[in-house]
């Protein structure tokens, strides 16, 4: 029997947190954008036809006064912390599912306040009073059903979850691969899917499918065999001196996440609920439960710990809840609910996942030696310079390009790209045959043919060939960021080839084709 | 395939036995990391031998070509001390940048950082800024041999890295595509040179397009000049600046 659960949902949470940070009213037409797609939009924007998944340009076309804000999951989680604190005042044991959505067991509060309806009303009131955030509450058997009930602010009667879920389309399961397959099989609603015999679902769709099937049948996603984890699965780290900076603590959290995950894997387990505990120098105890719909990977654990630490350590800014009076001395991760993890097996011969994990551990070790920013990984995006197209992010951070690659970048240097890119351009000299300087006119014509080239630390060389000028006129509408350059490729008699640029009367080497 | 070529030198057989990595599988297959087909003639086994030390001279394009083979085959690689590595060029040659870790400034602790990475990734490129102590070079080569990874000292002058099994360098290079005021750099034909110790003592050569038009690395069988399209100098400017204004 699924546990009776109360779910509190703040509609359009990314919009509310982004609007709060930008000092806007959430009633304005606002869209939160990630990777050029609308992630979430306010009610006013929705009324104008803006929808999730629209391209930014199209959303702006439908609603010309649309305010576009950037999506930031860390900010969302931080802003959600006061809401969690408000819920916790009424009902202990709140589980954050994701920013904007949290769950709490219904049994205790329902008894205390006299029924599910009373709990729902009290929760909405409490959250509005202490954080001025509108929310909806749903109560049902099982968290999945309660989450859907919260969207309609509904109380599903006891034992009615399966009937309540039946008319919902299968894509509410949010497992795109499985739901595509189900739709092609003609199973369009959760009711259709729930009608299949569980044994056949497991045989045909594997453990993930079986889990989704349990959800569709209104059973709790944690199987009855969920066990109380052995205490040795918990890991902790002590900070000396105590830390009060999010990035320092988050860095340690990443290693801790790896450790807790390794411990679980060794026992063939996976974690579905994680308790994050912290103790401050003055003895304050902070605890928060995080629930994950699937199983928590090391990266997912590290993200949640980082969000939570951010929430605690920056409470002062929000003013609603008190900030811990001292730095964090002890951080502890406790896998609170674990299941047997049958979904993932390492390859018989040690697959790529194994090598990746091994590499990841070594990178974490090097980050421990040199600092978090010393180990980088590159993300390629768009841009006009070979340097601009690369964004270096610390190992383990999210891989997001600086500029979108799928847009035209007129003036991009033609392929092949230089094998050596000088992120800090080096001043060089380009001279005409008579030894005079080479310049470029306003109409992008050279004043003299380049004939000699000298870079620091190298003997001057005659030029065999050259091409250019290739003009780049960037952001001319913005005087602070405007750049006008003319780029050339030069081929020296010594066999070296260079990418150079003339900017404001000076020549710079930007890359070497070596 | 040259991977099954019988090993003649006793010393090399010894090395191979030590180089056998953890885990089972066909020992010969497991002891080699693939390289790009264009580079295969430079290696005695036609591939990188796990546990070996392969020095690369100062050409970044050659370094990228060495990285591309294992990276394409799914290996994880790390590059230490090369902040100027052209990652767009690397991706163009086939390096999977999401499996490439970069440590641009390893600092004076570079030997221990290199050792830590040798434990976990298949190929580690290291460009030590300063002079390398013979002891450090020996210890790192031993670490690579023991862990079955490949160590690639990069940009160290000849003789600067004691005990390299193989040394790769660019002997001759010829760019094409660029004229006097027209065209752009399209491809470069290079003559690569390798020599080393043991089974690699005989010098080897390979003609390679490094890069070929489009950025890949391809073998150059014969000297074939690639056709060059004559392009007008410069591109039409987007916004026409007032005449006479100098940049």
- Model confidence at B28: pLDDT above 80: no
Asked if residue B239 belongs to a domain, the reply is no
Residue B42 lies in domain: 11-168
Contacts of A485 in chain B (CB under 8 A): 247
pLDDT tens for B86-111 read: 999 999 999 999 889 999 998 888 99
Instruction: Tell me what pLDDT residue B235 has.
Output: 47
ipTM here: 0.79
CB contact under 8 Å between A374 and B103, yes or no, is: yes
pLDDT-derived band of residue A466, with 50, 70 and 90 as boundaries? very high
pLDDT-derived band of residue B245, with 50, 70 and 90 as boundaries? low
Q: What percent of chain B has pLDDT over 90?
A: 39
Contacts of A466 in chain B (CB under 8 A): 178, 180-181
Return the higher-pLDDT residue of B19 and B156.
Answer: B156
Residues A405 and A495 occupy one common structural domain: no
Sheet containing B77-80, strands listed edge to edge, beginning at the edge strand earlier in sequence = A390-394, A376-380, B100-103, B77-80, B123-126, B150-153
CA distance to partner chain A, nearest, from residue B58 (Å): 8
pLDDT-derived band of residue A318, with 50, 70 and 90 as boundaries? very low
What phi and psi, each to the nearest 5 degrees, are found at residue B82? -120, 80
Instruction: Tell me what pLDDT residue B53 has.
Output: 93
Number of domains in chain B: 1
At which of A340, A356, A371 does a domain end?
A: A340
For chain B, give percent helix, strand, coil, nearest 5: 30, 25, 45
CB contact under 8 Å between A417 and B173, yes or no, is: no
CB contact under 8 Å between A355 and B74, yes or no, is: yes
B residues 179-218 near A, CB within 8 Å? 179-188, 211, 213-215
Nearest CA in chain A to B95: A378
pLDDT tens for A254-300 read: 888 888 888 887 777 777 778 888 888 888 888 888 876 556 677 87
Q: Give the Cα separation of A430 and A410 in Å (integer).
A: 25
- We report the CATH number of the domain holding residue B121 as 3.40.50.300
Residues A193 and A127 occupy one common structural domain: no
- Model confidence at B233: pLDDT above 80: no
Asked if residue B97 belongs to a domain, the reply is yes
Residues A142 and A181 occupy one common structural domain: no
- Model confidence at B224: pLDDT above 50: no
Q: Indicate the pTM of the whole model.
A: 0.55
CA distance to partner chain B, nearest, from residue A182 (Å): 33
Instruction: Tell me what pLDDT residue A472 has.
Output: 85
Number of domains in chain A: 5
Facing residue for B234 by CB, picked from A415, A468, A514: A468
* Pair B92, B211: CB distance under 8 Å: yes
CB contact under 8 Å between A470 and B235, yes or no, is: yes
CB contact under 8 Å between B247 and A370, yes or no, is: no
Return the higher-pLDDT residue of A8 and A337.
Answer: A8
Nearest CA in chain A to B187: A416
At which of A340, A356, A374 does a domain end?
A: A340
Asked if residue B108 belongs to a domain, the reply is yes
Q: Give the Cα separation of B240 and B142 in Å (integer).
A: 62
Nearest CA in chain B to A423: B84
Asked if residue B107 belongs to a domain, the reply is yes
pLDDT tens for A31-82 read: 999 888 898 999 899 999 998 888 999 999 999 999 999 888 878 888 888 8
pLDDT tens for A319-359 read: 444 567 778 888 888 887 777 654 444 333 334 456 777 78
Average pLDDT along chain A:
82
Greatest mean pLDDT range, A170-184, A303-317, B55-69: B55-69
- Model confidence at B228: pLDDT above 50: no
CA distance to partner chain B, nearest, from residue A482 (Å): 13
Residue A285 lies in domain: 232-340
At which of A396, A412, A428 does a domain end?
A: A412
CA distance to partner chain A, nearest, from residue B72 (Å): 12
| Contacts for A225 with CB less than 8 Å, ≥ 6 apart | A339, A340
Q: Give the Cα separation of A173 and A167 in Å (integer).
A: 13
Beta-carbon neighbour count of residue A247 at 10 Å? Answer: 12
CA distance to partner chain B, nearest, from residue A12 (Å): 33
CB contact under 8 Å between B184 and A467, yes or no, is: yes
Asked if residue B80 belongs to a domain, the reply is yes
Instruction: Tell me what pLDDT residue A504 has.
Output: 86
- Mean of the pLDDT values across residues B189-210? 88
CA angle A53/A55/A58 to nearest 5° reads 120
């Amino acid at each position: 029997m699924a546990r009776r659960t109360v779910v509190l949902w703040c509609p359009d949470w990314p919009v509310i947190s982004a609007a709060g940070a930008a000092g806007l009213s959430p009633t304005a037409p606002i869209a939160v954008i990630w990777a050029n797609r609308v992630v979430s939009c306010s009610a006013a924007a929705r009324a104008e036809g803006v929808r999730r998944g629209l391209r930014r340009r199209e959303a702006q076309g439908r609603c010309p006064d649309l305010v576009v804000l950037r999506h930031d999951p860390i900010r969302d989680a931080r802003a959600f912390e006061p809401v969690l604190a408000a819920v916790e005042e009424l009902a202990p044991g709140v589980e954050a599912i994701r920013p904007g959505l949290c769950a709490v067991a219904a049994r205790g509060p329902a008894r205390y306040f006299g029924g599910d309806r009373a709990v729902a009303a009290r929760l909405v009131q409490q959250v509005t009073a202490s954080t001025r955030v509108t929310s909806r509450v749903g109560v049902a058997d099982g968290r999945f059903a309660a989450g859907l009930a919260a969207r309609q602010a509904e109380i599903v009667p006891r034992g009615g979850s399966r009937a309540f879920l039946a008319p919902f389309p299968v894509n509410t399961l949010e497992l795109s691969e499985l739901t595509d397959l189900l739709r092609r099989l003609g199973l369009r609603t959760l009711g259709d899917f729930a009608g299949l015999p569980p044994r056949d679902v497991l045989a045909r769709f594997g453990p993930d499918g079986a889990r989704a099937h349990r959800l569709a049948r209104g059973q709790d996603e944690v199987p009855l065999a969920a066990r109380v984890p052995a205490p040795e699965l918990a890991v902790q780290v002590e900070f000396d001196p105590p830390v009060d900076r999010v990035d320092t603590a988050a860095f340690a959290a990443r290693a801790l996440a790896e450790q807790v995950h390794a411990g679980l894997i060794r026992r063939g387990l996976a974690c579905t609920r994680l308790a994050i505990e912290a103790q401050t120098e003055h003895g304050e105890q902070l605890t928060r439960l995080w629930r994950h719909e699937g199983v928590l990977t090391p990266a997912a654990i590290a993200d949640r710990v980082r969000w939570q630490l951010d929430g605690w350590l920056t409470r002062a800014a929000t003013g609603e809840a008190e900030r811990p009076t001292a730095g964090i001395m002890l951080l502890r991760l406790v896998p609170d609910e674990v299941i047997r993890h049958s979904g993932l097996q390492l390859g018989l011969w040690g697959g790529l996942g194994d090598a990746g994990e091994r590499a990841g551990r070594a990178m974490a070790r090097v980050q421990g030696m040199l600092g978090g920013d010393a180990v980088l990984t590159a993300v390629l995006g768009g841009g006009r310079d070979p340097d601009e197209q690369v964004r270096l992010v610390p190992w383990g951070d999210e891989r997001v390009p600086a500029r979108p690659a799928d847009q035209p970048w007129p003036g991009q240097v033609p392929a092949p790209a230089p094998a050596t890119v000088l992120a800090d351009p080096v001043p060089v000299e380009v001279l005409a045959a008579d030894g005079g300087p080479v310049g470029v006119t306003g109409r992008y014509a050279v004043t003299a043919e380049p004939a000699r080239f000298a870079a620091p630390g190298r003997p001057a060389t005659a030029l065999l060939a050259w091409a250019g000028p290739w003009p780049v006129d960037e952001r001319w509408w913005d005087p602070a960021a405007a750049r006008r350059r003319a780029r050339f490729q030069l081929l020296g008699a010594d066999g070296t080839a260079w990418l150079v640029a003339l900017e404001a009367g000076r020549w710079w080497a930007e890359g070497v084709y070596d | 395939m040259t991977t099954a070529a019988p090993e003649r030198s006793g010393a090399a057989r010894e090395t191979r036995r030590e180089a056998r990595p953890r885990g089972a599988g066909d020992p010969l297959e497991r002891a080699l990391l693939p390289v790009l087909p264009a580079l295969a003639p430079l290696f005695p086994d036609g591939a990188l031998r796990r546990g070996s030390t392969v020095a690369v001279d100062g050409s970044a394009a050659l370094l990228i070509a060495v990285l591309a083979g294992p990276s394409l085959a799914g290996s994880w690689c790390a590059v230490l001390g090369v902040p100027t590595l052209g990652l767009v060029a690397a991706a163009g040659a086939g390096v999977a940048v999401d499996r490439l870790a970069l440590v641009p400034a390893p600092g004076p602790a570079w030997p221990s950082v290199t050792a830590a990475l040798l434990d976990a990734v298949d190929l580690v490129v290291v460009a030590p800024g300063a002079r390398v102590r013979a002891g450090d070079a020996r210890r790192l080569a031993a670490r690579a041999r023991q862990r079955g990874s490949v160590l690639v000292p990069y940009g160290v002058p000849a003789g600067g890295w004691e005990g390299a099994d193989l040394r790769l360098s660019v002997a001759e290079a010829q760019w094409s595509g660029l004229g006097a005021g027209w065209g752009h750099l399209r491809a470069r034909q290079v003559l690569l040179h390798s020599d080393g110790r043991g089974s690699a003592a005989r010098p080897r050569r390979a003609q390679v397009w490094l890069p070929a038009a489009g950025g890949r690395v391809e073998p150059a069988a014969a000297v074939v000049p690639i056709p060059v399209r004559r392009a007008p100098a410069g591109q039409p400017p987007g916004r026409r600046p007032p005449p006479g204004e100098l940049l």
